[in-house]
Amino acid sequence: MASARALPTIAFVGTGVMGHSMAGHLLDSGYPLVVFNRTREKAAALIARGARWASSAGEAASLADVTITIVGYPADVEAVYLAPDGILAKASSGAIVIDMTTSTPTLAVRIAEAATARGILALDAPVSGGDIGAREARLTIMVGGDSAAFDKVHPIFQVLGKTVTHMGGPGLGQHTKMANQIAIAGTMLSVVEALAYARATGLDPERVLGAISAGSAGSWSMSNYGPRILAGDMKAGFYVKHFIKDLRIALSEAEAVGLELPGLDLARRLYERLAESGGGDLGTQALWTLYGDKA
């Protein structure tokens, strides 16, 4: 077994709801870790456990063999990678950079091209599983980019997730994540409406959840978010505002290939209504609040 000293140094940029747990697993596995987050307090626990603090994403990348990012929006991804003092400007030739944010396939391709020009290997590797998957190291990881780079960092992915799939070239990880988000949007809508119907017709929603979740109606969202909904727990495992971003990207990409997705468009409009009513920082299960008062 390789010693901790033989492991590559990893820069981790973005230690929020999911990134904090993911970075913690890397520390637990012995990887030397450098961290940066716009709010230092969110990285304090990791620093206390031995991670080194960097003053910027670029500085973090300059100190690492592998840089992982999981930030908020495509604009944030573009800034941390392509700014004059960003990751690609500061990372060493031969380094590998991995964006695990859900972003646009087009931007993933741009980053890969810019990285190649500097002798850097880039992967787009968005994840699914939310805060629970991150905390339990059970994420699903969808990877696009150079196959040799994927092989080199596969052990890192295995620390973070249980299902790791190389989908092909640059941007294809992000396209796969769009398919994932389309499925989640429809599933969450169906879970919320099933529970709203159960309550409105006088059923015990908890008993209904137990009865149907083990059958063909069952899903990960039903099993994991159904109990949260019924307990009134709307805390974010994945923010509504970030989910809206994903749904808009998916609709834009679908339009670009001439595909109409009316179910996805409905989910997008409902989540936008939720955000407009102040729910942008809640979890995706908070879609329930649009129905709960009427159920």
Annotated active-site positions, please?
Answer: 177
98, 123 contact by CB (below 8 A): yes
Strands 139-145 and 121-124: antiparallel
The letter for the amino acid at 143 is: V
Total Cβ atoms within 10 A of residue 255: 11
Q: Where do we find the tokens 């529970």?
A: 195
Total Cβ atoms within 10 A of residue 201: 9
What's the CA angle centered on 176, arms 27 and 129, to 5 degrees? Answer: 45
First CA to last CA across the chain, in angstroms? 56
Region of residue 283 (left: phi > 0; alpha: psi -120 to 50; beta: else): beta
Strands (E), 7-138: 10-13, 33-36, 52-53, 66-69, 96-99, 121-124, 127-128
From 98, 102, 32, select the one nearest 74 (Cα to Cα). 102
Beta bridge partners of 52: 34
Sign (positive/negative) of CA torsion 252, 257, 258, 262?
negative
What one-character DSSP code corresponds to residue 215? S
